[in-house]
């Protein structure tokens, strides 16, 4: 689990802490991280910067999901949709980075036309994030949610609330794993749902880890990370195939386009086999 000031603050609150008053301690560092990552991509839009921005926004989305029972339902849904929109904006460029990285495994030389397309996607990502006024949007969302929670007439003990929300996330994960394992042929959408549900469980355990004492969550995190690594690689290949198919017109040499697609399909088959194996083991 990543060690940071947030977990130390939560641990210091003790068993008498309330979920409502803890929200800001959890959310504020995530907002700061998202804003720092957003600033970084304007200075250096490396693949890692874009990836970390997406992660920060996904963690925010998961925290708002955790607090969904205590927040206005419509506003909570709107906020989570906003975080997804911002993550997708960064993701458009990140998808190109993944495609370029995968294709570099063929002969180390990626067509210039695809690199140019990545730069155009980056310009679009930057413009979307600038126009979204992400700083004010995130700070306003944090202030609004914290105010609603701190003025609520009912208080919920943090350890109990945290355990309930982690269990809810785990039930959702198990349901998606059952659905994915029951189909005769691997269903990419169902496997992707498993990946997303696994991330939510992981994030919630990381948020609330210091007040969770039911079982060995470090062991759970280790297993989830293994699943996510494999399922993430499968999702990367699937997304790259879709992106390549949508942009084959960029290739001057259509034989090169077909070779690239065949290479990605082979990688997909390998990743799919491993994902099914891990799912059966889980």
- In the chain the domains, ranked by start, together with CATH numbers, are 17-156 (1.40.20.10), 157-282 (1.40.20.10)
Low-confidence ranges of the chain (pLDDT < 70): 1-15, 108, 214-216, 282
Contact yes or no for 105/123 (Cβ under 8 A)? no
Q: What is the pLDDT of residues 6-34, one digit of tens each?
A: 554 565 555 578 999 999 999 999 999 99
Query: Among residues 182, 280, 205, 269, which one has the least CA distance to residue 234?
Result: 269
Q: pLDDT at position 239, please?
A: 93
Calpha distance 71→149 (Å, rounded)? 7
Largest CA distance in the chain: 67
pLDDT tens digits for range 25-65: 999 999 999 999 888 887 877 777 878 888 999 999 999 99
pLDDT of residue 217: 73
Numbers of helices and strands, H then E, in the chain: 10, 0
Q: What is the pTM of this model?
A: 0.86
Closest CA to 193 of 206, 180, 203: 180
Rounded to the nearest angstrom, the gap between the alpha carbon of residue 210 and the centroid of all alpha carbons in its chain is 22
Question: Do residues 129 and 89 lie in contact, with contact meaning Cβ atoms separated by under 8 Å?
Answer: yes
- pLDDT, residue 104, reads 87
């Amino acid at each position: 689990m990543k060690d940071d000031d947030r977990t130390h603050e939560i641990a210091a609150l003790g068993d008498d802490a309330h979920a409502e008053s803890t929200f800001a301690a959890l959310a504020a560092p995530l907002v700061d991280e998202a804003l720092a990552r957003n600033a970084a991509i304007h200075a250096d839009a490396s693949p890692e910067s874009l990836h970390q921005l997406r992660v920060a926004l996904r963690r925010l989305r998961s925290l708002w999901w955790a607090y969904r029972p205590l927040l206005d339902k419509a506003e909570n849904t709107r906020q989570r949709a906003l975080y997804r929109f911002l993550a997708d904006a960064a993701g458009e460029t990140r998808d190109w980075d993944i495609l370029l990285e995968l294709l570099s495994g063929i002969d180390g030389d990626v067509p210039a036309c695809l690199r140019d397309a990545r730069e155009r996607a980056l310009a679009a990502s930057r413009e979307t994030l600038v126009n979204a006024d992400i700083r004010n949007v995130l700070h306003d969302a944090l202030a609004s949610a914290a105010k609603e929670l701190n003025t609520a007439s009912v208080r919920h003990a943090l350890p109990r609330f945290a355990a309930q929300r982690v269990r809810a996330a785990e039930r959702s994960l198990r349901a998606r794993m059952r659905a994915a394992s029951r189909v005769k042929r691997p269903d990419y959408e169902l496997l992707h749902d498993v990946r997303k549900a696994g991330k939510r469980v992981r994030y919630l355990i990381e948020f609330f880890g210091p007040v969770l004492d039911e079982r060995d969550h470090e062991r759970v995190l280790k297993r989830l990370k293994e699943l996510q690594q494999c399922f993430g690689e499968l999702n990367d290949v699937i997304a790259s195939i879709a992106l390549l198919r949508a942009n084959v017109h960029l290739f001057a040499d259509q034989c090169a386009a077909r070779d690239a697609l065949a290479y990605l399909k082979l990688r997909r088959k390998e990743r799919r086999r491993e994902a099914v194996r891990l799912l059966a083991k889980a």
